[in-house]
């Protein structure tokens, strides 16, 4: 039988006194949390333990005595042994440390300071030395001391994080998880330090003074009115955009398609979460709140840096002077491309009549586009100047606005792609329907399947003529569709790169990763044990060290849910859409949230 005692490293050289901790139900283990020093009054100790039980919600008790011999305290061990009659609820641990030895000696006593009866309340430990010779009787317990860093265990979170609402009877927690839970919930026990004027003195990880920071306390005090103001502004903002006029079809459609509106909605949700007066209940929610705050601060800092660069040395005017010539050059390149397609592109034999019709149709749209760009030229510098101010809300707002401007200035390419895709898709589906006609089949709309069907001679003749005409016109249509699809994919690729940066800033758990790098024990994957001492005559001593969570797991666990502006189609579905001519929309509804 093995008794495991989880002993804090900060108490290894504590003065003699009482061990305060908790017995783990269903486990032959005890967790030592603090040592109350002699002198003390037992009644005050009992009252103090009762107060801690109420504040922590744990079944804390006096586990036993701790003895560290000093000059003038030769009878201290016998005195502490007699205290087992005053605290009779649990088996009594009598732990002592000998001068000149690294290990501890331990004895387990019952209420009468003798061997425990055959059916004790929780444990079956005879009152004999628990370390000593390795060849002792098998019925006698062997004690293993597991030393742990109390500060790290208290501040760490063991992963995977279990739901606090889970039923402990259906899914009982492990012994290690119970140790972490006991230490983390014992915060009120660690408030008492050596500088208090109370009658009790104790040793724990904060016995030399509680950790505090004046800057942190001032920031906490300043956040209260700031959060109140932020909640009021968000309430006004939410009320404004909840008006009926913003839910009309044109505005509701634009708000769900424009990247800037989607980003505003995402940041509004983040600000609502950060300014909430209700504290986060779960560890994961607290970390994600920190990720949102760091993401917001980083976003604003990058945006202010962009504003500094844009408005320094008049870079806005330089960009305006570069945008319009670039738009004109794109229009001229498209004209040359269409002239090439209207001839014999790559030596291909095209249907000249259809080729001329499609070429002139697209050339007319390019002339309309040039007129549109000419009308926008006087306002371009003002548009960029006021648009650049959106970077004060964050870099992601500026990138979202840039994505919308790219979509606006490439509207002609999108129109060409839609025309070509619709015409190509119509011919592909018409050919597939006529091909079923040759095989004596048809598509059953009601049952959504292909059924057999008998056709007369006139239907077969008309179907043959239509199939022949569409088949010989398909290469010309397919070439225009291929060219404009490639141009559209280039625009979509550039917008996708912008949205990758936006999603990275919005969802990357920078706070959690920084916590993993600077304080890896805060996010624990597990523990490892190392032998500290195995001296004859003493118990086995192990050191419990925390294994940090891998960085990839941290990113996967704590990333912030974000709004995706691009569909999550597989490559197979995307290729199928491109082959049959279905439109590849670059947008998704703004309520679609992805982890």
Q: 6 in helix, strand or coil?
A: strand
CA end-to-end span of the chain:
47
What pLDDT was estimated at residue 302? Answer: 93
Neighbouring CB atoms inside 10 A of 192's CB total: 21
DSSP 8-state secondary structure symbol assigned to residue 129 = B
Structural element, H or E, at residue 104: strand 104-109
Chain position carrying tokens 């597989």: 570
What pLDDT was estimated at residue 524? Answer: 87
Between CA 202 and CA 17 the distance in angstroms is: 9
What pLDDT was estimated at residue 568? Answer: 57
Q: Which two tokens stand for residue 301?
A: 């800092």
For residue 519, the number of C-alpha atoms closer than 13 Å in the C-beta half-sphere is 12
Between CA 345 and CA 136 the distance in angstroms is: 95
Is beta strand 441-444 parallel, antiparallel or unpaired with respect to 157-158?
A: unpaired
What pLDDT was estimated at residue 132? Answer: 42
Q: pLDDT (tens digit, 9 = 90+) per residue, 367-410?
A: 888 887 788 778 888 888 888 888 888 899 999 998 888 888 88
What pLDDT was estimated at residue 112? Answer: 53
Residue 562 bridge partners (DSSP): 594
Between CA 476 and CA 466 the distance in angstroms is: 16
Weakly modelled stretches of the chain, pLDDT under 70: 1, 71-78, 81, 88-90, 99-102, 110-141, 161-172, 194-195, 207-216, 241, 244-246, 537-538, 563-570, 585-595
Structural element, H or E, at residue 93: strand 92-97
Cα–Cα separations (whole angstroms), residue 587 to 255, 562, 578: 11, 14, 16
What pLDDT was estimated at residue 169? Answer: 46
């Amino acid at each position: 039988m093995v008794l495991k005692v989880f002993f804090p490293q900060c108490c290894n050289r504590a003065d003699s006194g009482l061990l305060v901790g908790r017995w783990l139900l269903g486990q032959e283990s005890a967790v030592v949390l603090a040592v109350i020093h002699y002198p003390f009054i037992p009644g005050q100790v009992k009252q103090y333990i009762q107060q801690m039980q109420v504040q922590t919600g744990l079944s804390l008790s006096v586990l036993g005595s701790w003895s560290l011999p000093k000059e003038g305290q030769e009878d201290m061990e016998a005195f502490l042994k007699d205290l087992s009659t005053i605290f009779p609820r649990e088996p009594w641990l009598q732990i002592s440390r000998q001068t000149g030895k690294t290990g501890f000696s331990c004895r387990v006593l019952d209420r009468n300071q003798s061997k425990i009866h055959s059916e004790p309340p929780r444990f079956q430990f005879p009152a004999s030395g628990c370390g000593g010779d390795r060849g002792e009787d098998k019925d006698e317990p062997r004690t293993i001391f597991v030393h742990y860093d109390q500060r790290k265990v208290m501040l760490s979170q063991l992963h995977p994080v279990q739901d606090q609402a889970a039923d402990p009877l259906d899914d009982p927690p492990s012994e290690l998880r119970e140790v972490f839970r006991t230490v983390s919930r014992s915060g009120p026990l660690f408030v008492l330090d050596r500088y208090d004027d109370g009658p009790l003195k104790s040793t724990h990880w904060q016995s030399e003074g509680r950790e505090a920071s004046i800057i942190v306390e001032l920031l906490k005090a300043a956040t209260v009115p700031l959060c109140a103001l932020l909640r009021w502004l968000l309430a006004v903002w939410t009320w404004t955009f909840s008006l009926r006029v913003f839910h009309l079809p044109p505005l509701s459609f634009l708000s769900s398609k424009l990247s800037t509106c989607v980003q505003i909605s995402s940041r509004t949700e983040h600000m609502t979460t950060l300014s909430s007066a209700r504290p986060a209940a779960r560890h994961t929610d607290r970390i994600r709140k920190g990720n949102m705050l760091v993401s917001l601060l980083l976003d604003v800092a990058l945006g202010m840096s962009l504003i500094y660069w844009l408005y320094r040395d008049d870079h806005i005017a330089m960009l305006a002077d570069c945008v319009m010539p670039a738009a004109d050059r794109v229009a001229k390149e498209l004209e040359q491309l269409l002239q090439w397609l209207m001839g014999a592109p790559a030596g291909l034999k095209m249907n000249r009549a259809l080729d001329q019709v499609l070429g002139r149709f697209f050339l007319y749209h390019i002339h309309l586009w040039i007129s549109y760009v000419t009308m926008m030229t006087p306002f371009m510098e003002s548009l960029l100047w006021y648009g650049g101010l959106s970077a004060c809300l964050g870099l992601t707002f500026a990138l979202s606005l840039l994505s919308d401007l790219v979509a606006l200035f490439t509207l002609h390419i999108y129109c060409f792609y839609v025309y070509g895709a619709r015409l190509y898709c119509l011919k592909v589906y018409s050919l597939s329907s006529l091909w079923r006609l040759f095989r004596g089949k048809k598509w059953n709309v009601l049952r959504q399947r292909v059924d057999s069907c008998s056709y007369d001679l006139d239907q077969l003749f008309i179907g043959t003529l239509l199939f022949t005409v569409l088949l010989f016109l398909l290469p010309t249509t397919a070439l225009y569709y291929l060219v404009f699809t490639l141009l559209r994919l280039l625009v979509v690729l550039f917008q996708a790169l912008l949205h990758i940066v936006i999603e990275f800033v919005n969802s990357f758990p920078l706070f959690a990763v920084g916590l993993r790098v600077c304080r890896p024990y805060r996010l624990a994957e597990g523990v490892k044990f190392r032998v500290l001492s195995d001296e004859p005559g003493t118990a086995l001593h192990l050191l419990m060290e925390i294994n940090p969570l891998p960085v990839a797991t941290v990113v996967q666990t704590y990333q912030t849910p974000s709004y995706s502006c691009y569909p999550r189609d597989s490559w197979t579905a995307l290729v199928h859409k491109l082959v049959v001519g279905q439109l590849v929309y670059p947008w998704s509804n703004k309520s679609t949230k992805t982890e």
